[in-house]
Structures are given as C-alpha cells and as structure tokens.
Structure 1
Amino acid sequence: MTGVTRWTGREVYLLRKAMRKNGREFAALVPVSQRQLTTWETRGETIDLRPGNQAALDTMLARAKVAVQQRFATLLTERAAVEHDERAEELLRRDPRTVKHPVDGKIMVLVEEGIYLAGAASTPNWLDGFRIDVYPTTNLDYERFVRATGHRPPRHWANGRCPDDLFDHPVVWVTWHDASAYAHWCGKQLPTAEQWEKAARGPKGRTYPWGDEPTAAKCNVSEAEIGKTTPVARYQSGASPYGVFDLCGNTWEWCSTEEEPGRYELKGSAFTSPFERTAPSLRNAANATMQDNDTSFRCVSPP
C-alpha cells in the first residue's frame, strides 16, 4: 500500500470510510475529539494536519488489514478520477477546439493543417491536421489501460497499483512498446516528431511553447531543483499556442518517428535535463526497450 504524502481532511474521511467506522469510533482511534474529526472532514483539502496526527494516521493505515488498505486505495483513485474529470470539463468549456476522447477520456486539441516552421533552421513544412492530447499520459490514465488489458504495470507502482500521490503525474518507466500498446488500446497513435514539434512551437515556429524568451521557470527542468515529476497541469504559463502542456520539461516523450531500426525519437526534455535541452526543435532518440524515470508519452489521432 502506497503511503499518504500529506494527510488532509479528505484522506481522513476516506480512511474512515475504508475502515467502516462512525465518527466517534474513528476519532477514538486517532485519538482526537469527535468535534476535531468533524472539522477535519468538513474542511477537506483546505486543512493540513499537525505532524503528530499525520504520524498517527500513517500508523493506522500501515497496521490496517489488507482489505481496508485496498478499499482506501480504491476510494483515493476514484476521488482522483473525479477531480481529473472536473478539470477536463473546465477545459472543454474554456477552449472550443478541445474534445474528449471516447476511449481513454483524455482531452485533445485540434492542430490545424498547414505550414509550420520546423527544425533548428525553421524550415517551412506542411502537415495535415491532427488532434493531440493536451496533457501527457498520467499514471491514472495508464492504470485504466492496465486494468482493461492486463498489461504489465510500471516498475514504480507498488503492488501494481497507481500511486495515490502520483495520479496526475506523467506515467514513467514505460518503453516505446508500452507507449505504443496504450495508443493501440485507445485507438490513437504516438505522434510523429513533426506533429509533436508543431504542437509545441505553433505554425510560426516559436523557440519554446510560450514564446522566444528562454524562461526556465515555465517548465520542470533541472534548474528548478524539484528532482522529480510534477502534475501535468502545473505549468500553465508554459503551454503552447494550441494550449498543450508539458512540451518542455517534466518528461521526455516517445514519438513514432524511427531514427534507425529499433530506435525512436524522444521530444521535450525532462526534470533531469538542463534548460538548454528543452527547445522543441532539438532531437533525441533511444532504443525502443529503454525505460527510465523521466520518460513518458502522449497520443494523437486524426482530426
């Protein structure tokens, strides 16, 4: 069972439900007053519990029966899915170019057909129109795929389950073959390097998704000193002209373009990369069997 990074009133409520305790019984186990427990649950995510209470809840969860831990994990994942859907609906309302894919439920945005400036030399290039995922494939997205197909889960998932605190982070430790299997399952494809670059730079060939200024604060790169992935919706100011997120930093992303047999292009740089490696025009590639903690993917589909 993956632990809870930060206990709030939301997690307290879900643990009580998983243990099937009423307020008085659960409060006595923490131990706190029933009034204090009611305050926690009422305030939900707006309240941070004191370190002593956090430790007590950690112990309760660790000592709980396996069935309780499984129910708690399921409740957390269901809640995360609802939050994910709420963000998706907000984006659909805000941007008329977006649609929700019928299989994996991800929000996709239209990249119109036409000429765009490609590569380091900004050479004019024509591309047909396509749709691309607004966000990279998250752990929560990938868990739906694993449950539906029985595909091997990533190595960082304890007991083969999506980590509760990483549901909205890009899934990592996936090979090109894993990414392709996900794309096949939902009826999409991995983007070509050209599609990925146009989605990142726009038709006028921006140096970075947000413009031409080298602003490291707009993405998760090594200079940020975070040292791990971040939620896919975090860097709103770093979105591309089409409203696509995380096209610089956070994780490298697999493309369908084959550099040589068995070796495929990667785009975007990662939290492990220096900012100088983030420009979408730059090229990188890896063997299809490579997997790492800084490599993920997103998908495209016809318009």
Structure 2
Amino acid sequence: MSLLEFAEKLGVSDRIVSRWEGDGEQASLRMVNQAALDTLLAKADQDAQGRFVGILSADDVPTHAVIEPDDDQTSSGEYLKHPGDGKLMAHVPEGIFLSGENDDPVFVDEFYIDTFPTSNADYARFCAATRHAVPEHWENGRCPRDLYDHPVVHVTWRDADAYATWAGKSLPTAEQWEKAARGTAGRTFPWGNQKTAAKCNVRETGVERTTSVSRYHSGVSPYGVYDMVGNVWEWLATGTTPGRYELRGSAFTSPLFRGAPAAANDASDMMHDDDTGFRCVATPEQVTPHIRRQ
C-alpha cells in the first residue's frame, strides 16, 4: 500500500503514519492505533504474515531463541546475528549424526547455518555493495517489493559462492547441510518421518511459486532452520564431478520425496533456474565477536 492507502486503512491521517516512520523504534503509538495495527496483521493472509516475520530485525531476536516443539518432536534453536551480512544463524553443535540413505554415522564439527535461505533482499545488498550482476528476472535491475523475503533464484553456484565469500561465510558441505536438516537421529524430514507436504512448499502443496522464507513454521529442523525441504533447491560446496556441485532440499517444482535431506541432486556450476537458491554456513571463528561457549 501507499502511505495514504495505509493511513486510510487504519483510520488515521497520513501525517501520523509519516511520524511513525520517522520516529522508527522510538515511535509511541496510542493504544487504539496499536490495536488497529494488530487487527490488520491478524487479518492478513499467511504469506503476508510470513513476510512480516521475515523482515523483523534480527536484533529483536534473543541470542538464545527457542522454537517451540512441534507435536512430540524435539525442536529448538540457538541463534545469533552474523557480523558480515547480518543474517540470523542457527547453531549446530559438533558430533555424530546419521547420514545418507543408509544412516551411516558421520562426525561434523561445530558450525552455524543461515536460519533462512538467502532472500532477494539479502542478495540485493550484496549486489549493491559489490556491483555483482543481479538476477536476470529482476525488473529493471530491481527485485519486486513483494518478493523481498522470498529466496533469491536464478543464481549459479558461482553467484552463491561469491555471496558467501563477500559475507565472510561459505556454502555448506553436504554433511553440514544434511545434519542441519535432519538432526542427529536420522529423521526422514526435518520435522520427523511423516510425509506431510503441508509443512513445506513442494509440488503437492500447490503454491507453484516461491514463498516467504519464514512461512512454514511447523517444518523447521531440529536446530530451528527453515525451508530445508521445498521452496528452492540449495547449492552446496560439495562437488560431484569437475564443474558440478550438489543441490539439496528440492523446491516448489518438485515432489515431496525429492526433498528428503538424504537425497542428493547436482548441476553445472553455471546452471540457474527459477527454483534454485542457497544459504550459507560459518565456523565459530567467523561469527566472532558474537557469543561463544566457554
């Protein structure tokens, strides 16, 4: 909405809305206006509510935030803000997890992984800072506003690696990505073993496009990581043959079974499509000066 449209929707003057924007976090709202805002948010569709959550400042999230368990599955996350690109990252402790279709025990060192896939807004900041080419589908070189909190797509492996380098991170290895998605006990999917398409954006869901990176709250992994199944395929650091790299997680274009974290895919490092994006990982050293365990 424009400022005037939003003010009319709330039943206040456009000067009041302008003052709120100008005051930022220091804005003081009358209770009746706060109630009107809360009502609008409550009536918004699920995608709009997801965008609202997705664009909240990471500074508003406690250092040790906890995601409530879903049903009988243990699901929690410890988060911090990365000093490079400012994205929220979830902590994955060192240890053994059950990997692959045969659930082989694999040890992985401690690391942090982006809580959400790299969004269009994240990628736009990278392009502005480095003059890197923007995705070809952005209109006049700019991402549409309604896609700011959707995962960036039409990025090659090289694009993803360039972003990770700029941010002071790296692309995840296959082992890192799979552990962050499945946890340690060999879950089939991030949320458990149930084939529940409603917990992610896959072909069976019927959305047929990308969605907000924070939309599927019930589909988070044991470490509180979103969209590890569906929405977009994610580039990994693990190569398969020269010039080809793994992809995991499937996308809105793929059936649910392709999204099982143990199932691998690969593609040329120059491939880009409307269902392919990425997220990054960081070592404990790469997240300093933020909190470290003693």
Provide the TM-score with structure 2 as the length reference. Answer: 0.76
Q: Given the alignment, which residue of 192, 209, 224 partners 2:205? A: 224
8 Å CA contact 2:99–2:179 kept in 1: the answer is yes
Shift of residue 86 of structure 1?
Answer: 3.3
CA distance in 2, matches of 1:184, 1:249: 25
Number of aligned residues: 245
The aligned counterpart of 2:29 is none
Structure 1 alignment gaps of length 5 or more: 1-6, 15-20, 24-39, 49-79
Name the residue aligned to 1:270. Answer: 251
Distance verdict in 2 for CA 1:160–1:128, change over 3 Å: same
Q: 1:209 to 1:47 in 2, by over 3 A?
A: closer
Q: Which runs of 5+ in 2 are unaligned?
A: 8-13, 17-32, 42-50, 67-76, 285-294
1:128 maps to which of 85, 91, 109: 109
Conserved 8 A contact 1:10-1:44:
no
Distance 2:253 2:58 in 1: 27
**Are 1:181 and 2:174 matched, yes or no?**
no
CA apart distance, 1:276? 1.6
- In the alignment, is residue 84 of structure 1 matched against residue 84 of structure 2? no
Taking the aligned partners of 2:52 and 2:221, their CA distance within structure 1 comes to 25
Deviates more, 1:92-101 or 1:285-294: 92-101
Question: How do residues 43-122 of structure 1 correspond to structure 2 at under 5 angstroms?
Answer: 84-86=55-57, 89-90=60-61, 92=63, 94-95=65-66, 97-122=78-103
Identity level (%) = 53
AA aligned to 1:297 is F
Output one character per residue of 1:209-236: Cα deviation in whole Å (capped at 9) or x when no partner.
Answer: 0011111110000011110000000001
Q: Which amino acid aligns with 2:113?
A: I
Tell me which amino acid in the other structure corresponds to 2:125.
R
Partner in structure 2 of residue 286 of structure 1: 267
Change (3 A) 1:279 1:264: same
Q: Pick closer, same or farther for the CA change 1:214–1:263 going to 2, 3 Å.
A: same
Q: Within the alignment, does 1:238 sit opposite 2:219 as a pair?
A: yes
| SS of structure 2 residue aligned to 1:196 | helix
Shift of 1:47: 5.4
Tell which has more relative contact order, 1 or 2 (C-alpha 8 A, sep 6+): 2
Deviation at 1:82, TM superposition (A): 10
Normalising to structure 1: TM-score of the pair? 0.74
The one-letter amino acid paired with 2:55 is H
Determine the C-alpha separation between the residues in 1 that align with 2:225 and 2:236.
Answer: 16
1:12 corresponds to:
5
Q: CA deviation at 1:260?
A: 0.4
Match of 1:163 among 144, 152, 165: 144
The structure with the largest helix share of the pair is 1
Task: Return the alpha-carbon distance in structure 1 between the equivalents of residues 231 and 180 of structure 2.
Answer: 17
- Decide whether the 8 Å contact of 1:88 with 1:107 is kept in 2: no
Counterpart CA distance in 1 for 2:88 and 2:193 is 27
The 3 A distance-change label for structure 1 pair 218 and 102 is same
Shift of 1:43: 5.0
The answer as to 2:271 corresponding to 1:300 is no
In 2, distance between residues paired with 1:252 and 1:91? 29
Judging changes above 3 Å, is the alpha-carbon distance between structure 1 residues 217 and 264 closer, same or farther for their aligned structure 2 residues? Answer: same
The one-letter code of the counterpart of 2:5 is: V
| Alignment CA distance shift 1:188-1:211 (3 Å) | same
Contact 2:181/2:221 (<8 A) preserved: yes
